[in-house]
Amino acid sequence: MVPERRAHAWWKALRRERLLLVFGGVAVALQLIDAQPWARWRDWLALPTLLGLFALLLSIEGIRASGAVQRAAQALAKRAHSQRTLALALVAGSALLSMVLTNDVSLFLLVPLTVALGRGSALPVRRVVILEAMGVNAGSALSPVGNPQNLLLWQHSGLSMAAFVWRMLPAAGTMLALLALTVCLLVPARALADGDAAAAPTPAVRPALGWVSALLLLGVLVLLQADRSGLAAALALLVFASAWREVLRRVDWGLLATLAAMFAGLGHLAQWAPLQAWLLRLDWHSPPVIYAGGVLLSQVLSNVPATVLLWPQVGGQAMPLAVAVDVGGFGLALGSLANLIALRLEGGRGNLGEFHRISLPFLLVCAPLVWLVMRLVG
């Protein structure tokens, strides 16, 4: 009976992984329709990216297990005057961090803090996490190293870092201004504390685990910048396997499996011959086609695969494509990997529906507004 119960528990857990089942189904269906060799699958799986995310997950989980995040959240809650003020600070922080640390790393740092803030206070955590995801999409748009699609297009553009930032400033500034307005509309100005939340018991802190995890996080970021994701993953695994094995058990393995299925399925879809043939029918030298195509394809492929797919088609027009795929990070959760990471870190049921109730209207306003601004500035 023990094996049967274990199998039942695994099946029950798997049924909760809806995105994993969807992306896995897409990957299997495409392989049946359009069989490809293992070498192609190995490229689509993006193993260096998965190893880097694993190292980040371990490091952040170590910081969270140390109690440092909860202590920081309590200190921040005592200084905040209202839910809106705190939400604006968190969303602004996510946008600023994403310009330097990339959008996914910023979420790994801020979402656990936000979730901890929600314990014992009236902060609408899920809504703020969704706005943080939108914040990293908007903030990272300004930086050539803020997200993978910008890094790819910056390398192809031949522009200096300053020139890239200057060219992206009107679009990113429009996104950030619209996002600030959205935060003010969606988060009330009511007092943060709920009852006696500010006087809640101070959480216990494990200093050794906190310091080692923080130093490890810095080391992982340095190694990832040097394209040594394998070494980063091995270092993180060694640290926690030797001293704090409970951190390994708390890693979100379902998230890693979901991302692997997403990379494989969408990578195959982006290279599928019927989709490639359809793309060839359009005039990808036309700015409206680049913009509309980048936004729409990001909704179904995510913005990084959409960038890889469209770059050979657009005739070297890196900056119009960068604006399009960065705007495409809003809308459907699939538009940006950062959206999926934020929702997974928040962990509540029904967060996908609330994300779309906020992000889809935002895209419907943001997309034409950014287009108009870019046309006005030339």
Considering the domain boundaries, does residue 319 fall inside one? yes
Residue 72 to residues 5, 81, 104, 252, Cα–Cα distance (Å): 40, 16, 21, 23
Place of tokens 């969704």: 130
Position 196 confidence tier, pLDDT thresholds 50, 70, 90 = very low
- Distance from C-alpha of 171 to C-alpha of 129, rounded to nearest angstrom: 23
What is the pLDDT, as a whole number, of residue 3?
Answer: 59
Place of tokens 């909704």: 299
Considering the domain boundaries, does residue 171 fall inside one? yes
Considering the domain boundaries, does residue 231 fall inside one? no
Q: Which domain holds residue 360?
A: 67-205+252-377
Considering the domain boundaries, does residue 1 fall inside one? no
Considering the domain boundaries, does residue 214 fall inside one? no
The string of pLDDT tens digits covering residues 1-12 is 455 665 555 556
Considering the domain boundaries, does residue 58 fall inside one? no
The string of pLDDT tens digits covering residues 157-189 is 888 888 999 999 999 999 999 999 999 999 998
Considering the domain boundaries, does residue 322 fall inside one? yes
Q: Could you tell me if 241 and 248 are in contact, meaning their C-beta atoms sit under 8 angstroms apart?
A: yes
Give pTM, 2 decimals: 0.79
Our count of domains for the chain comes to: 1
What is the pLDDT, as a whole number, of residue 12?
Answer: 60
The string of pLDDT tens digits covering residues 261-290 is 888 887 888 788 888 888 788 888 899 999
Exposure b/e, 93-118, CB count within 10 A at least 16 = b: bbbebbbebbbbbbbbbbbbbbbbbb
Considering the domain boundaries, does residue 354 fall inside one? yes
Q: Give 304-365 as a DSSP string.
A: HHHHHHHGGGTTT-HHHHHHHHHHTTSSSGGG-HHHHHHHHHH--TTHHHHHHHHHHHHHHH
Tokens of 319: 């900056």
The string of pLDDT tens digits covering residues 46-86 is 788 788 878 888 888 888 788 776 677 667 767 777 889 88
